[in-house]
Amino acid sequence: MPSRLTRTSARARLQKLRAAIRDHDHRYYVLAQPSIDDEAYDALVRELSELEHLFPDLVTPDSPTQRVGDQPTRTFPPVTHDVPMLSLANTYVEADVTAFDDRVRTGLAPDRPRYVCELKYDGIAVSLVYDDGRLVRGATRGDGTAGDDITANLRTIRAIPLQVPGVKGRIEVRGEAYMRRDDFERMNSEREAAGEKLFVNPRNSAAGTLKLQDPREVAKRPLQFVAYGLRMPLRGPSTHHDGLQKLRAMGFSVSRHLRRCSTVAEIVEFWKEQGAGREALPFDIDGIVVKVDELRHQERLGAIAKSPRWAIAFKFASRKAETRLQDILFQIGRVGTVTPVADLEPVFVGGSTVSRATLHNEEYIRSLDIRVGDTVVVEKGGDVIPKVSGVVLAKRQPGSKVFRFAKRCPSCGSSLFRPEGEANTYCENQQCPAQIRERIRHFSSRGAMDIEGLGDAIVDELVTRGFIRDVADLYALSQRAEDLSELDGWGKRSVANLLDGIEQSRSRSFDRLLFALGIRHVGESVAKLVAEHAGSLERLLSLTHDDFDEVSGIGPRISQSIVHFFADRSNRRLVERLSAAGLVVRAGPRSRPAQGPFAGKTVVLTGGLESLTRDDAKRRIEASGGRVASSVSARTDLVVAGADAGSKLAKARELGIRVIDEAEFLKILEETASEA
Ligand code: IVH
């Protein structure tokens, strides 16, 4: 038993245990590849601390039991850095990197630089000093010359070795203390459950943790450390890249995301790759750092003011920012959808200033408990429309009130309606001025009727002044040219331009007109299918829900919406007026798409088809680029043979023409529809 151990054998056992625990810590915290389970690990630590308890004089400061040895301190003693901790010149644009490269090349000529690109971790810079392989001091950057001695706190970070065997003399390791996003979120939800104040982001939370006066508290927080700099005067590396390899060999965690580059183009490529991959990383980065690789080159280049001439931070445009939510407004869409919109204190994010962001719907606001006056996180995602992605609860002002969604339409005052099971709320008044405006805007937009000269402001004005109440009124405007030119700021020229734009729109194709009507669920491509299927407005008005059954690409939700739209008397009247105004209300001669399974093919239909009419089959073949002929000849490419096919089928066989049955025909059509 331990008590019978001699000092000598105890010392040997202690050394073994410590080495084993260090090795397991390294595997677990740095390599993320543990080789024993927690229980076995705990047993080693227990044995170590029991043994140290018996032989207190054999306890060394670098023993794994000593990570959390210290009592709380009032203040952190200041330390002067051996070599100042510089900061980096920053940029967001390639031109600055090119200028940096030019300066480096000039400074080093005739030598040519090589660079190492690495990630710019969004954490807190720290310096670690080892004397003869023992961690003797850990400090913050402070003002660059002197920082705080936070050795006790840094010792609690398991990814920081307390000891690096075999290293003589004094070395300094610099790197970043940070928190992973998942750890940060877990910690924050625990804090929330305990009613404690929440941290804003992983970086602030790492910074706050390092400032804690009690290392025992620090030890409970999930801090990480990544090393990116080594100063080793004795037998040190000659390049930065070798330094990183050496750090890894010493047991530090070093990022694998690094690349040696020799041109700006390569640097930019790495920057783009990392920018695209940043969301997938478990921690936050805010750019890349480009460093001259050769240490003697670094020395030759030196530093200006507070930053070295041999490195630059090439940052990503931040796609998130915090700002104050000044108000929540409601926007009414053309089909009456009420969208809550955040009115924000303007903030620069992702390359532009944002003052509006979507809040989606009532449910979204409720689930995040977003309140007017809150500090919110604004995010630019893949799409252009910014959104409010969260609330900084820690900054919520006392007395804030739970947000109540509008009960009445802010534009027309009618009561709002939220269908059972739907997230959206609607204003159901078709005559609501906001809806009228949106419908007209949509009608005149690019993919629709594309009316030049009818911008948003003009639509507003025309609606407000009562010149137009629906899209058909646009085509009667020419009779009121005089009244129009009397409006403030509307010269004869601008009126003529507007009327000209409206005139030109009369010849837009039938499918564009259908899209322009703004029928719910009818986008540009569905409009094409519908125009194709119906052939004319007249026929479209007579179609029932069932008539759409066989049209692939038009499901029940769409057909219902179409039938519903045309069942409405005012909509019927509207399209009749548009038709009377001379707009195109039938599908034109189909232009043949260059691609598609039947592109350029001559097809003959023979026999009876079960699932679709001859006409429909013909239309579908033409829609995917083919021609339908009535008789089989040498120029026929394909024959679709239905039930009881007779002489045409025989002729096709005779000529060796490919014949398919209805099932195969449908399959091809289906495939085309799903590709479209
Ligand atoms: S090198 C003189 N490398 O960025 C060289 N810094 O202003 C200075 N940082 O405070 C540091 N990742 O906290 C370097 N791979 C990296 C880095 C990095 C993050 C931080 C560091 C420093 C700031 C530069």
654's tokens: 């005779």
The reply to whether 433-505 and 510-580 are identical in fold is: yes
Judged by DSSP in three states, 157 sits in coil
Contacts of 493 (CB under 8 A, 6+ apart): none
Range 184-188, long-range pairs (CB < 8 A, 24+ positions): 184/222, 186/222, 187/221, 187/222
Distance CA 34, CA 41 (A): 10
Q: b vs e for 274-313, b when ≥16 Cβ sit within 10 Å of the residue's Cβ?
A: bbeebeeeebbbbbbbbbbbbbebbeebeeeeebbbbbbb
Distance of CA 532 to the CA centre of its chain: 37
Distance CA 437, CA 441 (A): 6
Q: Higher pLDDT residue, 138 or 628?
A: 138
pLDDT for position 672 = 67
pLDDT digits (tens, 9 = 90+) for 262-296: 999 999 999 999 998 888 899 989 899 999 999 99
Q: Cβ(563)–Cβ(545) under 8 Å?
A: yes
Task: Choose among 530, 525, 528: nearest CA to 563.
Answer: 530
Judged by DSSP in three states, 314 sits in strand
* Ramachandran angles phi, psi of 606, nearest 5°: -145, 150
pLDDT for position 674 = 59
pLDDT for position 231 = 96
Residue 305 has pLDDT above 80, yes or no: no
Q: Which residue bears the tokens 């009130």?
A: 401
Judged by DSSP in three states, 390 sits in strand
Q: Cβ(287)–Cβ(316) under 8 Å?
A: yes
Q: What is the 3-state secondary structure (H, E, C) of 385-452?
A: CCEEEEECHHHCCCCCCCCCCCCECCCCCCEEECCCCCCCEEECCCCCHHHHHHHHHHHCCCCCCCCC
Residue 148 has pLDDT above 70, yes or no: yes
Judged by DSSP in three states, 320 sits in strand
Q: ∠ at Cα 473 (472, 475), nearest 5°?
A: 75
Counts for the chain of helices (H) and strands (E), in that order: 23, 24
Distance between Cα 291 and ligand 1 center (Å): 10
CATH topology of domain 7-66: Helix Hairpins (1.10.287)
Q: Cβ(416)–Cβ(407) under 8 Å?
A: yes
Neighbour-count burial of 257, counting CB atoms closer than 10 A to its CB (0-12 exposed, 13-18 middle, 19+ buried): middle
Which of the four pLDDT bands, split at 50, 70 and 90, describes residue 382? very low
Which of the four pLDDT bands, split at 50, 70 and 90, describes residue 48? very high
Distance between Cα 143 and ligand 1 center (Å): 14
Entry pTM = 0.54
Q: Is 310 in the pocket of ligand 1 (CB under 6 A)?
A: no
Q: Is 308 in the pocket of ligand 1 (CB under 6 A)?
A: yes
Task: Choose among 469, 554, 484, 483: nearest CA to 519.
Answer: 554
Average pLDDT, integer, range 453-463: 90
Distance CA 409, CA 7 (A): 85
pLDDT digits (tens, 9 = 90+) for 492-509: 888 999 999 999 999 999
Residue 1 has pLDDT above 90, yes or no: no
CA dihedral 235→237→238→243, nearest 10 degrees, is: -160
Q: Which residue bears the tokens 């051996």?
A: 82
Task: Choose among 483, 488, 514, 512: nearest CA to 499.
Answer: 483
Q: Which residues on neighbouring strands pair with residue 135, listed in sequence order?
A: 130
Which of the four pLDDT bands, split at 50, 70 and 90, describes residue 70? low
Active site (annotated) includes residue 246: no
Q: Higher pLDDT residue, 190 or 96?
A: 96
pLDDT for position 130 = 97
When the pLDDT of each residue in the chain is averaged and rounded to a whole number, the result is: 89
pLDDT digits (tens, 9 = 90+) for 536-579: 999 999 999 888 887 777 888 889 999 999 999 989 999 999 99
Q: Which atom of ligand 1 is nearest to the CA of 86?
A: 2
Distance CA 279, CA 286 (A): 11
Distance CA 308, CA 297 (A): 12
Range 101-104, long-range pairs (CB < 8 A, 24+ positions): 101/263, 101/264, 101/267, 103/309, 104/292, 104/301, 104/309, 104/310
pLDDT for position 171 = 97
Q: Which residue bears the tokens 């990503």?
A: 316
pLDDT digits (tens, 9 = 90+) for 463-496: 989 899 999 999 999 999 889 888 888 888 889 9
- CATH architecture, domain 433-505: Orthogonal Bundle (1.10)
Neighbour-count burial of 523, counting CB atoms closer than 10 A to its CB (0-12 exposed, 13-18 middle, 19+ buried): exposed
Q: Is 228 in the pocket of ligand 1 (CB under 6 A)?
A: yes
Q: Which residue bears the tokens 């096919």?
A: 645
Distance CA 637, CA 646 (A): 18
**DSSP H or E stretch at residue 502:** helix 492-505
CA–CA distances in Å: residue 20 to residues 55, 56, 378, 615: 19, 20, 47, 81
Question: 337-341, 352-356, 523-527: which has the minimum mean pLDDT?
Answer: 523-527
* Ramachandran angles phi, psi of 152, nearest 5°: -60, -40
Q: Higher pLDDT residue, 419 or 178?
A: 178
What does DSSP assign to residue 28? I
The residue to mutate among 88, 128, 143, 226, having the most atoms of ligand 1 within 8 angstroms of its beta carbon, is: 88
Residue 113 has pLDDT above 90, yes or no: yes
- CATH architecture, domain 320-405: Beta Barrel (2.40)
Task: Choose among 147, 213, 209: nearest CA to 184.
Answer: 209
pLDDT digits (tens, 9 = 90+) for 584-621: 999 887 554 556 778 778 889 988 888 888 878 888 88
Check whether domain 90-315 has CATH 3.30.420.10, yes or no: no
Residue 334 has pLDDT above 80, yes or no: yes
Q: Cβ(400)–Cβ(374) under 8 Å?
A: yes
Average pLDDT, integer, range 158-187: 93
Class in CATH terms, 602-675: alpha beta
536's tokens: 């004319």
> Peptide bond before 215: cis, by omega within 30 degrees of 0?
no
Which of the four pLDDT bands, split at 50, 70 and 90, describes residue 676? very low
Which of the four pLDDT bands, split at 50, 70 and 90, describes residue 163? very high
**510-580 belongs to which homologous superfamily?**
5' to 3' exonuclease, C-terminal subdomain (1.10.150.20)
Q: Is 87 in the pocket of ligand 1 (CB under 6 A)?
A: yes
Which of the four pLDDT bands, split at 50, 70 and 90, describes residue 426? very high
Distance of CA 667 to the CA centre of its chain: 37
pLDDT digits (tens, 9 = 90+) for 627-672: 788 888 887 889 998 888 888 888 888 888 899 988 888 888 877 6
Q: Is 176 in the pocket of ligand 1 (CB under 6 A)?
A: yes
Q: ∠ at Cα 352 (346, 353), nearest 5°?
A: 10
Distance CA 453, CA 456 (A): 10
Distance CA 158, CA 265 (A): 38
Distance between Cα 88 and ligand 1 center (Å): 7
Distance between Cα 187 and ligand 1 center (Å): 26
Distance between Cα 198 and ligand 1 center (Å): 26
Which of the four pLDDT bands, split at 50, 70 and 90, describes residue 675? low
pLDDT for position 618 = 83
Contacts of 479 (CB under 8 A, 6+ apart): none
The domain segmentation of the chain, as residue ranges, is 7-66, 90-315, 320-405, 433-505, 510-580, 602-675
Task: Choose among 439, 409, 425: nearest CA to 520.
Answer: 439
Phi-psi region of 2 (alpha: psi -120 to 50; beta: other; left: phi over 0): alpha
Q: Cβ(512)–Cβ(449) under 8 Å?
A: yes
Residue 456 has pLDDT above 80, yes or no: yes
Q: Is 668 in the pocket of ligand 1 (CB under 6 A)?
A: no
The residue to mutate among 124, 228, 254, 256, having the most atoms of ligand 1 within 8 angstroms of its beta carbon, is: 228
Residue spans of alpha helices (H) in 57-137: 94-108
Distance CA 622, CA 529 (A): 12
Q: Is 86 in the pocket of ligand 1 (CB under 6 A)?
A: yes
Distance between Cα 307 and ligand 1 center (Å): 10
571's tokens: 């909509």
